[in-house]
Structure 1
Amino acid sequence: MRTPVAWLLLLFATVLCVNADVSDRYRKFINQHVNGQMSTTRCDSEIRNRRISQTNSNECKETNTFILANTNTIKSICGQAGEPYGEMTKSLQPFHIVVCTLRNQQARHPNCQYRGQSRTRSIAIRCEEGLPVHFDRDIIHFEN
């Protein structure tokens, strides 16, 4: 009789770990890519204050995109406000974004210097369990 209980506990622990992993990736996505008040002149300070760098290093990230929207609006892309786009989900509506591009190629965090550029584009993100967990790219939308 103990075996089924042990399996249930193991299954429950596995589900908790998976959900925690998605939650961690969602929080990282929000930190790296969401700022409703972002401007092109704030790239250096936002990237430094949010400690954004290349994954698992202190190297400056080549580019980082900030989405000027609230988290609920971005989350809705993972539902009715998005459509499949390869392995990603594409927003049905364009977003205001700021793309920060590294200017000093050899620098290390926190001495990264960026040039900000404002755009209005559809965005492609990866969704897991209804949450955005990865920003893939911005997409130029041409009207027919």
Structure 2
Amino acid sequence: MGMKFTLRAALTASAMAMLGGCAASPEGLNSRDVADSRSFSESYEEIYRRLMEAGKSCNPPVRVFGNPANPGGGQIEAEGELHRDRGFAEFRLVAGSYGIRMNYFVAARIEKSGSGSRVTIKVSNPLGAGPLSSRIYRWASGDPSC
């Protein structure tokens, strides 16, 4: 019993340390310094369109038992705004999972960059940063698969 308790305590402490860097809201995520970015040859409006279409297609309205991107239950919403007057767009995935009881937020800023655009991604949970960023970049590149 002592060994199980020690192992469980160590795992809990590790998880808490990793999750300590999570943003609690999309607004908190925007204030973070850590971001990943890539350039694309298409306009920011086209990249925004791709992200919104894939985000909404892969995250249909929630059903009782979840959706394809969140099979454990919960809700994932794709949302965004296009700011043509300022030359950028914002795209976000906001999720709450009933099974894990963890929210995650992904924010992508798409802005003019020369004749193309630059996509900058911030992810609230460091554990999900790689897979979530990869998904956003795939969608921005034109691959709409979930």
Q: TM-score, normalised by structure 1?
A: 0.34
Of structures 1 and 2, the one scoring higher in RCO (CA 8 A, sep 6+) is: 2
Larger C-alpha radius of gyration, 1 or 2? 1
